[in-house]
Structure 1
């Protein structure tokens, strides 16, 4: 009688900042994963000869690289079948070595190019990389905003520095010049000295690689100093938190987002409806990509008929599927997404509005 109720428990490791100033990113990502896992459980999928029950093993890495490595080892020790995380590039990259050593496939939100350039066959992304995003942003700053002299600020995280490096290359390639390269931290909130120096250089635009917790106050301080040029940033600034922190100064800020707007995603409206029904709130930027990341891993297991990493890894690498974010989800030989999508937004009347979307192939 007992055999009729046998099940395979499939454990997905997950780590992200779940406390502190970046916890809203981690919660958004976790919600997307949770929605996918609950849907898979409702479908009654079979793996390794038994009904599969998917569970999420969640850990808080506090957006800290050292903590991330400790958490990664804890996840490995819990005998997981795959990893959906981490969120930040600075935590993902060191943690990925732990997972690779354990032979665990990992699909991360991290956008830094370094993540998939390590030569591991276990690393995959949920979003467009910073190499692709930075190229689009730099071109936009010079061509669309008409900025010839550009000042750069980054927070020295793997994400912030990596994205800013790519923007710098693209600005120069498009014929612009870098008149200042300044640095801060992801804990700072006073940027007066940096911005005063930038103002003296006559910059036409400022690009900031970092978090909304910094870009919000930065934008307010630009206004106070009379630095009336556009602030351009990455997807971590494309948030309601930025709007709240920047207040009336938010208008005229631009932010890039790896991907396309929710309403234009392949199944964006369907995903949004399911998310709101489950969590009683609207999905953030990262939830649909986390959702697709989870389903990518589940689909690879389905193709292999097994949750064992050594059996489904090749299926993940060769995966082709239509998901919430795109009809053409597939990976290149490094684990980057084949389809490149970047959207530029601007704050108008206190709200983020789409300016333009670029969709291309990385091939």
Structure 2
């Protein structure tokens, strides 16, 4: 009994020391919350979840690498909110994040959210890394806003060039959904089309909630355009392509990055094949060195292929983390200043930003659809 009584205090002491050591190790973690804002419900939920997945993979990669910042181990924690691609909801998310002291936010997906929300993030000293492509997103004069893909000025103009130079189109009709993204993209297409000598035979308008386009398509059919450019999202592009086929419209359908996704093919069926052409602000993952490995890891984790911008959000998460490690601080104002000066070789491209936060030398790829899936053509 005496032998046992001597061991008991020792075992308790050992346990206490072990717990103290664990507490000390935990105290050495430098926890940084990474916000994600995007559509996690509604017709664009597929994109919001894909973007969130890209950020999640970046967060896990950072934590696995155990980067040191100021003598502590950097640990990212993801906090994700549904902004519904709605400006009012997106502003509420921005206020919630900044009130919580979150200084690093990935998203939004929709320009209509990014434009009003960017002021709130700026006022809260938060860095916003977005795929909102309307040029106005980076025209607010906010030094902490970064667009991680090409802007509409490049995407819209590239489709006008493709229509004129490759498809040999002479006439075009234009439809947009009146969102900041869709309207801005259509304006850039029209601007470049006129420079090239493409004749715009008609412009029609819809909404990002519509599903019936027969009336405006019938009007456009009477004008027999070579191409129809649609400024909007996949939720409308898919049904529109199907209705074009039903009306016997032979024109090719063109659009930007928001229709350059599997969801368009899913909604359009075979109507998208070799008919829908789109430009995406990003590289072809199969054609870049680290792309196939990222695709494989993503599919293993989420049981599906990555969509348009998962890899871009992964890259930006890593760029921010490596910048923190380089500077030895998580101060968002210092990290923001360094992001404007530094560069980072990611999966998609080498990231470097101009003074407005636009990605320099942003890659653009043109796709069509084969077997319902976006397939690169140029």
Q: Tell me the TM-score normalized by structure 2.
A: 0.91
Whole-angstrom distance in 2 between the partners of 1:228 and 1:250: 12
Structure 1 counterpart of 2:339: 316
Partner of residue 193 from structure 1, selected from 203, 215, 224:
215
Q: Retained in 2: the 8 A contact 1:48–1:307?
A: no
Whole-angstrom distance in 1 between the partners of 2:328 and 2:340: 15
Structure 2 counterpart of 1:161: 183
Structure 1 counterpart of 2:78: 56
- Secondary structure at 2:313's aligned position in 1? helix
Q: Retained in 2: the 8 A contact 1:137–1:167?
A: yes
- Secondary structure at 1:307's aligned position in 2? coil
Q: Retained in 2: the 8 A contact 1:153–1:209?
A: yes
Unaligned runs of 5+ in 1: 357-363
* More helix per residue: 2
Whole-angstrom distance in 1 between the partners of 2:111 and 2:344: 25
Whole-angstrom distance in 1 between the partners of 2:294 and 2:249: 40
- Secondary structure at 1:173's aligned position in 2? helix
Alignment pair present for 1:306 and 2:339: no
Structure 2 counterpart of 1:285: 308
Structure 2 counterpart of 1:133: 155
Whole-angstrom distance in 2 between the partners of 1:283 and 1:130: 22
Q: Retained in 2: the 8 A contact 1:296–1:319?
A: no
Whole-angstrom distance in 2 between the partners of 1:122 and 1:322: 20
Structure 2 counterpart of 1:361: none
C-alpha RMSD of matched pairs (Å):
1.4
Partner of residue 240 from structure 1, selected from 248, 252, 262:
262
Structure 2 counterpart of 1:273: 296
Whole-angstrom distance in 1 between the partners of 2:224 and 2:302: 47
Structure 1 counterpart of 2:206: 184
Whole-angstrom distance in 2 between the partners of 1:21 and 1:153: 19
Shift of 1:277: 2.5
Describe the shift of the 1:266–1:116 C-alpha distance in structure 2 as closer, same or farther (beyond 3 A): farther
> Rg larger in 1 or in 2?
2
- Secondary structure at 1:340's aligned position in 2? coil
Shift of 1:265: 2.6
Partner of residue 138 from structure 2, selected from 105, 109, 116:
116
Shift of 1:135: 1.4
Alignment pair present for 1:260 and 2:283: yes
Whole-angstrom distance in 2 between the partners of 1:331 and 1:14: 21
Query: Cα deviations across residues 161-182 of structure 1 (Å, max 9, x unaligned)?
Result: 1111111111111111111111
Q: Show the 5 A alignment for 1:1-363.
A: 2-6=23-27, 7-251=29-273, 252-326=275-349, 328-356=350-378
Whole-angstrom distance in 1 between the partners of 2:321 and 2:347: 14
Shift of 1:349: 4.3
Q: Retained in 2: the 8 A contact 1:142–1:174?
A: yes
4+ runs of 1 displaced by more than 4 Å? 1-4
Whole-angstrom distance in 1 between the partners of 2:49 and 2:289: 23
Whole-angstrom distance in 1 between the partners of 2:327 and 2:289: 25
Structure 2 counterpart of 1:360: none
Q: Tell me the TM-score normalized by structure 1.
A: 0.94
- Secondary structure at 1:339's aligned position in 2? coil
Bigger drift between 1-10 and 243-252 goes to 1-10
Whole-angstrom distance in 2 between the partners of 1:81 and 1:344: 35
Whole-angstrom distance in 2 between the partners of 1:166 and 1:244: 27
Whole-angstrom distance in 2 between the partners of 1:167 and 1:142: 11
Q: Retained in 2: the 8 A contact 1:301–1:312?
A: yes
Bigger drift between 345-354 and 232-241 goes to 345-354
- Secondary structure at 2:228's aligned position in 1? strand
